[in-house]
Amino acid sequence: MSAKTGVGAPVLRKEDFRFITGKGQYTDDINRQDQAYAYFLRSPHAHANIKKLDISAAQKAPGVLGVLTGDDLAADKIGGLICGWMIHNKDGSPMKAGAHPALAQGKVRYVGDHVAVVIADTYAQAKDAAEKIIVDYQVLPAVVDMNKAKSAGAIHDVAPDNVVYDWHLGDKAATDAAFSKAKHVTKIDLVNNRLIPNAMEPRAAIGDFDSGTGVYTLYTTSQNPHVARLVLSAFVGIAPEHKLRVIAPDVGGGFGSKIFIYAEETVCVWASKKVGRPVKWTADRTEAFLSDAHGRDHISHAELALDDKGKILGLRVKTKANLGAYLSTFSSCVPTYLYAPLLSGQYDIPAIYAEVEGIYTTTAPVDAYRGAGRPEATFLIERIIEKAARETGSDPAMFRRKNFIKSFPHQTPVIMAYDTGNYTASLDLALEMADYKNFAKRKKDSAKNGKLRGIGFSAYIEACGIAPSAAVGSLGAGVGLWESAEIRVNPVGTVEVLTGSHSHGQGHETTFAQLVADRLGIDIDSVAVVHGDTDKVQFGMGTYGSRSGAVGMSAIVKAVDKVIAKGKKVAAYALEAAEKDIQFKDGRFSVAGTDKSLAFGEVALQAYIAHKFNGQDLEPGLKEGAFYDPTNFTFPSGVHICEVEIDPDTGTTDIVKWTAVDDFGNVINPMIVEGQVHGGIAQGVGQALLEGAHYNADGQLVTASYMDYTMPRADDLPSFDVGMTNTPCTTNPLGIKGCGEAGAIAAPPAVINAITDAVGHEDVPMPATPYAVWQACQKGARKLAAE
Amino acid sequence: MASVTLTVNGKQVTATVDPRTLLAQFLRENLHLTGTHVGCDTSQCGACVVHVNGRAVKSCTTLAVSCDGASVTTIEGIGTPDNLHPMQTAFRENHGLQCGFCTPGMIMSAIDIVNRKGNKLDEHTIREELEGNICRCTGYHNIVKAVAQGAAAMK
């Protein structure tokens, strides 16, 4: 195996050629013969009863093939969209989930909710016709503020106080006891700002019903096409799985927002049979802002109990989580089981108690966005740790070091059992790379120029490799979270890797090929990766939660091991030796102690021609599959240090240095891993400085285009110094932990800790826009003057 | 309906279009040149950047008829997998793309930056000049490196 393309090498990406030459095939690039176009009429109101819906004029408009409504869905017995994770209240009762029809049935619950769909020969005709639909709305009060939601009037009848669940985790009595012994208690109130994922490719779908075979095909922008098929078959009831093919071709970014099964995709595939033509829909950007599942949106109060030596005794957390108007596919687990189990961070905390209320509001559904619950947990723990260090006069690095978990495995009081880690090693390297010891001098130099300099730490942990099926099942998940792989060896020894993971930027066509080529000792160009088509890959759970390496690749190596085992049997016949004497190394099967050997490709040929063995004793062919179910989550961790310089006159924050040290365990391709870190940090900095979804009191989304919602641009960001430590994961065969979300998890508290350090007080909101920072500077100046 | 004649990637095309047809739409739907992407419809994200008479233009907010008689170059017109433009090579060698959706617009903008600013570009200039192109995947770190390398290689 060439060292240039083996595991650990920064191999350039195989998939790049089509993307850099404009030959990628994204969903909107696909066109089906005779395809029609869908346009969705969306609610202009946050909350309203539909008294009357008159579609007659639209039906007669030029080019219109059909106008479909919630009544048509009901008549066809098409079920509602589902939430796949049951959360139980403190008292053991189940959460209150309202129905979620793909097209409104009598009521709309957020601006952008789907009222009707018009299907026409052209998109322009469909859009024009939608203006002829007459809707008589009885407007109801919008419910935007989580703090007022309980008395604002029910959005769903099943939840009269708009509380979906009132959930808790941890030991309340033990935590209360820890606080009763505390010498110091640090308290903090935090808002984790609402974000809109904004993958650059808007969501799109083509539904295509073949009346000859009775098979539906859905081309869609999905991170997990098999899960989409499962939901559309088993729950929505479009067609049984063998009559529904879901293809997720090239997908232009996901960040969580393309995990979910949405109304538009559902309607397009259903409507293709209704109108007898393929139906295409592509979101414009404002539709994406309105209807993609949003992320974050927590209000929290937290308290940290310390003893007289600054050791943490306990943590108490109370969080309100906005779930939007409907429960999206995995929304319920994000502020519960993906959040509270991470509240121990990297710290040895003897007692933790967390309470979370999930709240319905008349806003877009909120679900997983890069990190999903873990950024919220990390923001909380890293902000309160920083504040505690400041209040007790401790150096923030020293304070963290003192409280780090130092022996493994470590059982936290909130479910998680960390298998391994070396938090001190990441901190040491980060301090050195950031030149922390000379920070005070840099701060003085900035002050001479009238600038405020600050430094902020974030020592994050995340739980990736989602997840052991039995464990998530016991916590309420409706699915298992294993992954599948199949290795098909062709007679000439080239290999197809079929994976249930899905690549939408992660570079699986390169990294998975790197792994398989390395293991089989063949050329990387002899390996092709196949994904994203339910007709090709038998099943898979898809890509999210940094699971494709830890879970998806583990399934691949399991299948590769089976191929090698079968190859040894074939080689034993071909080389006329005992199977136990066959060794496989560097792409050759050889007989131990002899010079007899066959290359991998030669054995593949022998397997297919089956001349040297009896096909009854050994099956011909060389193809193996595997399902890998992890035994634990993986726990990537690291330390990010952000250094900022603020102009107090303008409130502008300049990130002057970013140091990232991450421990992802073993790495397949460091170039791709670093790219994931860069992108994650950019999204985290976006949350900290720029991005915020804002609904006004009427429930109108006022940040619904790139002219209103501030995306990070090249001139908002610095280059990043990325370092790595390696403590291999002990619970999967590759020692991989996962890298996809780390930056987005680590970055926000690092930025806010740096800004609060610079301005000298804790009162800085996210996003810390220039106006917010300017206000914080004014307050800081007043505080200094008063002292 | 209106008639429009363009030279696209060196080939002359004439078509009758609805006057409200956007250049991006015309390229994608009439000519099947789907490398030009539409990411925002408001001239903000730059996924749709093409060159019109040698200058970078956001094709999602340009009417096709307004380009009558013009010469248009798209991502498909600058290089092929076997014969890449130096800027395409630079994006690949520097891992300047992940999902690839913004990439055609980034590359077209990058070439335009070099055409206007020359072959020696510092990081600050590149970052300022990329203001009109949004990437959600890379954090720009590797795009900036790619543009610098591509610029030097275009000499």
CATH of residue B17's domain is: 3.10.20.30
Tell whether B58 and B97 lie within a shared domain: no
Q: Which long-range contacts (CB under 8 A, 24 or more apart) does A134-137 make?
A: A134/A52, A134/A53, A134/A54, A134/A57, A135/A41, A135/A50, A135/A52, A135/A53, A135/A54, A136/A50, A136/A51, A136/A52, A136/A53, A137/A43, A137/A45, A137/A48, A137/A49, A137/A50, A137/A51, A137/A108
Report the gap between the CA of A505 and the closest CA in chain B (Å): 4
- Does A31 score more than 70 pLDDT? yes
Angle at the Cα of A628 (from A625 to A629), degrees rounded to 5?
150
3-state secondary structure of A699: coil
The token pair that represents A152 in the structure block: 């604002």
Cα gap A400→A416, rounded to integer Å: 20
Q: What share of chain B is helix, strand, coil (3-state, %, to 5)?
A: 40, 20, 40
Give yes or no: residues B73 and B100 share one domain.
no
**CB half-sphere exposure, B65, CA atoms < 13 A:** 9
* Whether the Cβ atoms of residue A543 and residue A500 lie closer than 8 Å to each other: no
Tell me the per-residue pLDDT of A118-157, one tens digit each, with 9 for 90 and over: 999 999 999 999 999 999 999 999 999 999 999 999 999 9
> Could you write out the DSSP letters of every residue in A18-58?
HHHTT---BGGG---TT-EEEEEEE-SSSSEEEEEEE-HHH
B61 lies in the same domain as B92: no
Amino acid identity for residue A241 in this structure = E
B63 with B97, same domain?
no
Chain A CB contacts of B139 below 8 Å = 678-683, 712, 717, 720, 743
Identical fold between A16-20+482-628 and A31-141+200-253+258-291: no
Examine the domain organization and report whether B18 and B71 are in the same domain: yes
Which is it for the CA torsion A110, A115, A119, A120, positive or negative?
Answer: negative
User: Domains in chain B: how many in total?
Assistant: 2
Name the helix (H) or strand (E) containing A271. Answer: helix A263-275
Sign for the CA dihedral angle at A672, A675, A680, A683 comes to: negative
Confidence at residue B38, expressed as pLDDT on a 0 to 100 scale: 98
* A746 vs B contacts (CB less than 8 Å): none
- Tell me which of B77, B109, B135 is where a domain ends: B77
Written in H, E and C, the secondary structure of A134-191 is: EEEEEECCCCCCHHHHHHCCCCCCCCCCCEEEEEEEECHHHHHHHHHCCCEEEEEEEE
Q: What is the dihedral of CA A761, A767, A770, A772, to 10 degrees?
A: -50
Q: Which residues of A686-699 are buried (b: 16+ CB within 10 A; e: fewer)?
A: bbbbbbbbebeeeb
**A742 phi/psi in degrees, rounded to 5:** -50, -50
Q: What are the CA-CA distances from residue B51 to residues B3, B7, B23, B73 (Å)?
A: 21, 11, 11, 5
Taking every pair of Cα atoms in chain A, the longest distance, rounded to a whole number of angstroms, is 92
Do B55 and B98 have their domain in common? no
Phi, psi for A423 (deg, rounded to 5): -70, -35
* Residue A413 confidence class, pLDDT cut points 50, 70, 90: very high
Q: How far is B48 from chain A (nearest CA, A)?
A: 11
The C-alpha torsion from A489 through A490 and A496 to A498, rounded to 10°, is -60
Between A370-379, A417-426, A543-552, the lowest mean confidence (pLDDT) is in: A543-552
Cα–Cα distance for residue pair A544/A552, rounded to 1 Å: 11
- B19 in contact with A, Cβ within 8 Å: no
Model confidence at A4, in pLDDT bands (50, 70, 90)?
confident
Closest by Cβ to B107, choosing from A20, A505, A719: A20
Residue A757 CA neighbour count, 13 Å, CB half: 27
Residue B93's CATH number: 1.10.150.120
Q: Is the same domain home to B96 and B65? A: no
Sign of torsion over alpha carbons A323, A329, A332, A335? negative
A19 with B97: Cβ contact below 8 A: yes
Q: Are residues B70 and B14 in the same domain?
A: yes
CA distance B23 to B28: 9
The yes-or-no verdict on residue A785 having pLDDT over 90 is no
H or E element in which residue A456 lies: strand A452-461
pLDDT digits (tens, 9 = 90+) for A277-292: 999 999 999 999 999 9
List % helix, strand, coil for chain A (3-state, nearest 5): 30, 25, 45
Determine whether the interchain pair A20/B93 forms a contact, defined as Cβ–Cβ distance below 8 Å. no
* In contact, A22 and B101? CB cutoff 8 Å: no
Q: Which amino acid is at A724?
A: M
Domain extent, residue B135, equals 86-153
- Does the structure show a pLDDT above 70 at A587? yes
In terms of domains, do B131 and B110 share one? yes
Beta-carbon separation of B102 and A17 below 8 A: no
**Chain A neighbors of B32, CB-CB under 8 A:** 31
Distance from CA of A621 to the nearest CA of B (A): 34
- Nearest-CA distance from A702 to chain B in Å? 16
Closest Cα in chain B to A712: B134
Q: For position A2, what pLDDT does the model report?
A: 57
Task: Please tell me whether residues B72 and B44 are part of one structural domain.
Answer: yes
Nearest to B144 among A286, A671, A714 (CB): A714
What's the CA gap between A786 and A773, in Å, rounded?
Answer: 20
Residues A13 and A94: their CA atoms lie apart, in Å, by 46
Which pLDDT belongs to residue A784?
67
Q: Give the closest residue to A603 by CA, choosing from A490, A708, A496, A705.
A: A490
Write out pLDDT tens, residues A281-339. Answer: 999 999 999 999 999 999 999 999 999 999 999 999 999 999 999 999 999 999 999 99
Give the percent of chain A with pLDDT over 90: 97
Cβ separation of B92 and A13 shorter than 8 Å?
yes
Torsions phi, psi for A400 (to 5 deg): -65, -45
Asked whether residue A780 carries a pLDDT value surpassing 80, the answer given is no
Cα–Cα distances in Å, from A423 out to A208, A397, A406? 52, 11, 8
Residue A787 pLDDT exceeds 70: no
- Indicate the residue of B81, B97, B140 with minimum beta-carbon distance to A717: B140
Q: Is the dihedral of CA B85, B89, B92, B95 positive or negative?
A: negative
User: Which amino acid does the sequence have at A603?
Assistant: V
List CB contacts (< 8 A) between A17 and chain B.
81, 92
Q: If you average pLDDT over residues B88-95, what whole number do you get?
A: 98
Render pLDDT for A732-751 as a digit per residue (tens, 0 to 9). 999 999 999 999 999 999 99
Asked if B140 and A19 come within 8 Å (Cβ–Cβ), the reply is no
Chain B contact set for A248 (CB, 8 A):
none
Domain edges within chain A: 16-20+482-628, 31-141+200-253+258-291, 298-466+632-786
Range A298-466+632-786 has CATH code 3.30.365.10: yes
Confidence grade of residue A419 (pLDDT, cut at 50, 70, 90): very high
Is B5 near chain A, with CB under 8 Å?
A: no
Cβ A461 vs Cβ A342: under 8 Å = yes
Compute the nearest-CA separation of B106 from chain A (Å). 10
Taking residues A63-90, what's their average pLDDT? Answer: 97
Where among B25, B46, B77 does a domain terminate?
B77
Nearest by CB to residue A285, choosing from B20, B39, B103, is B39
Q: How many residues does chain A have?
A: 787
The number of beta carbons lying within 10 Å of the beta carbon of residue A52 is 9
Q: pLDDT-based confidence at A236, cuts 50/70/90?
A: very high
- Our CA angle for A545, A531, A569, nearest 5°, is 105
Same domain, B23 and B72: yes
The whole-angstrom distance between B136's CA and the closest CA on chain A is 6
Compare all CA atoms of chain B with the CA of A720 and give the residue at the minimum distance: B141
pLDDT at res. A716: 97
Of the candidates A26, A675, A706, the beta carbon closest to that of B142 is on A675
Tell which residue, A433, A254, A302, A382, has the closest CA to residue A747: A382
3-state secondary structure of A433: helix
Does residue A209 surpass a pLDDT of 70? yes
pLDDT at position A783:
72
Label each residue of A199-264 as H, E or C. CCCCCEEEEEEECCCCEEEEEECCCCHHHHHHHHHHHCCCCCHHHEEEECCECCCCCCCCCCCCHH
A-B CB pairs within 8 A amount to: 183
State CA A291 to chain mean position distance. Answer: 17
**Does residue B37 belong to the interface with chain A, where contact is any CB pair within 8 Å?**
yes
Cis peptide before A396 (omega within 30 of 0): no
Is A20 in contact with B92 (Cβ distance < 8 A)? yes
HSE-up of A158 (CA within 13 Å, CB side)? 14
Q: Which CATH code for domain A31-141+200-253+258-291?
A: 3.90.1170.50
Between CA A432 and CA A315 the distance in angstroms is: 30
Q: Given the DSSP bridges, would you call strands B2-8 and B11-17 parallel, antiparallel or unpaired?
A: antiparallel
pTM for the whole thing?
0.97
Question: Are B70 and B90 in the same domain?
Answer: no
Separation between Cα atoms, residue A466 and residue A259, nearest integer Å: 14
Report CA-CA distances (Å) from A667 to A8, A510, A673, A727. 6, 13, 7, 11
Q: Using the 8-state DSSP alphabet, how is residue A328 labeled?
A: -
Q: Give the residue from B141, B142, B143, B149 with the most A CB atoms within 10 Å of its CB, the best one to mutate.
A: B141
Closest to A41 measured CA to CA, from A136, A129, A140:
A129
Contacts of A525 (CB under 8 A, 6+ apart): none
Q: Does position A529 have pLDDT exceeding 80, yes or no?
A: yes
- B100 → closest Cβ in A24, A202, A680: A24
Report CA-CA distances (Å) from A768 to A388, A714, B125, B135.
Answer: 21, 18, 25, 21
Q: Which of A23, A200, A507 sits opposite B102 (nearest CB)?
A: A200
- The minimal CB distance from B131 to the residues A18, A674, A713 is found for A713
Token couple for B36:
């030009």
- pLDDT for A752 beyond 60: yes
DSSP letter at B30 equals: I
Residues of chain A positioned with their CB less than 8 A from the CB of B47: 200
Closest CA–CA distance from residue A198 to any residue of chain B (Å): 7
Cis? peptide before B19, omega within 30° of 0: no
Of B35, B42, B95, the CB nearest to A23: B35
- For residue A98, the cross-strand partners are none
* Averaged pLDDT for residues B20-36: 97
Q: Which residues of B touch A18 (CB under 8 A)?
A: 81, 100
The domain defined by A16-20+482-628 folds into Aldehyde Oxidoreductase; domain 4 (3.30.365)
Place of tokens 């319905």: A360
Give the gap in angstroms from C-alpha B69 to the nearest C-alpha of chain A. Answer: 24
Q: What is the pLDDT of residue A781?
A: 73
Bridge pairing between strands A298-306 and A184-192: antiparallel
